[in-house]
Amino acid sequence: MTPRPTIVVFVKAPAPGFAKTRLIPKLGPEDSAELARCFILDAACQARAVCPDVLMAYAGDFALLDALSIQGVTWTEQPGGDLGERLETIVSQAFASSAGPVVVIGADSPSLPSEYLSQAMQILTDGAIDCVLGPADDGGFYLIGLRQISHGLFSYIAWSTSETGDQMRRNIDACGLRLHMLPLWYDVDMPEDLERLTEEIRSDATVRERAPATAGWVEKMPPPLGEQTIKSKTCRNFDSHHAIVFMVCSPSGGPGASSVHPDTAAPAPPARPLVDTQRTAAPSASSCGLRRWSASVLPRL
């Protein structure tokens, strides 16, 4: 069968509180969702520039993705299960509809050099290599490409940890696949990653060309990005689950917006809330160093 490559892009619907949640303490849920929307647009554009067959594997509310009006792609919903199970199902689906190779990326690396994608496609199409892996500097990986499906390849992996990449390479070796490693790159998951991306966009025209939607978002944000001061306290919200309430204190001392982000690792709260959720209160001198603040508990994300 004639090779017919496919790029699969894993995405989450850009809903506030659902996408880019680890950036919520810095940006708030609305801006985090807007940034996720830009990441999706740039990932789809970059994939289509390299390969005519692009499969967007989504989780969440499809209406939010359909509203992006991305042309020339096919959409499929991610199944249930952990990330490994979803990867195996979607990759198998991609191979069932094409001869491969199949390259999988996420929408977390908007500044990824396009030549990394092209190189992965070319290496796999040539046939001497079975698997291409793009390592991320947080210990995970930003890309995996396969010449054929290997069942069990994505099993027994602790996802979203510093061990993910090593465990993936262990599985690749166990399956007897010939591996090529791409250069190291990074995902934008944490505030420090966003700062790195922002600096790249503002200083490098080629990055702005690779990620035009994200560059437009950065351009609209007041510099320096994240100038607001974030303070957090643990409280108990109305359904008795732990949450982090983020107080955004403006430099002028006025109240800022607040949001709630799940925090499964939070310590058990005291019997009384640490935050008055009904009214504005004056902090002590050690609370945030500003003249006043306000907080409100939003519906749980």
Give the model's confidence band at 1: pLDDT under 50 very low, under 70 low, under 90 confident, else very high.
low
The three-state DSSP-derived secondary structure of the chain is: CCCECEEEEEEECCCCCCCCHHHHHHHCHHHHHHHHHHHHHHHHHHHHHHCCCEEEEEECCHHHHHCCCCCCCEEEECCCCCHHHHHHHHHHHHHHHCCECEEEEECCCCCCCHHHHHHHHHHHHHCCCCEEEEEECCCCEEEEEECCCCCCCCCCCCCCCCCHHHHHHHHHHHCCCCEEECCCECCCCCHHHHHHHHHHHHHCHHHHHHCHHHHHHHHHCCCCCCCCEEEEEEEECCCCCEEEEEEEECCCCCEEEEEEEECCCCCCCCCCCCCCCCCCECCCCCCCCCCCECCCCCCCC
What pLDDT does 265 receive? 43
Give the model's confidence band at 261: pLDDT under 50 very low, under 70 low, under 90 confident, else very high.
very low
Domain 6-181 homologous superfamily, CATH? Spore Coat Polysaccharide Biosynthesis Protein SpsA; Chain A (3.90.550.10)
Per-residue pLDDT tens digits for 3-21: 689 999 999 999 999 999 9
What pLDDT does 295 receive? 35
User: Does pLDDT of 239 surpass 80?
Assistant: no
Q: What is the mean pLDDT of the chain?
A: 81
Domain ranges of the chain: 6-181, 228-301
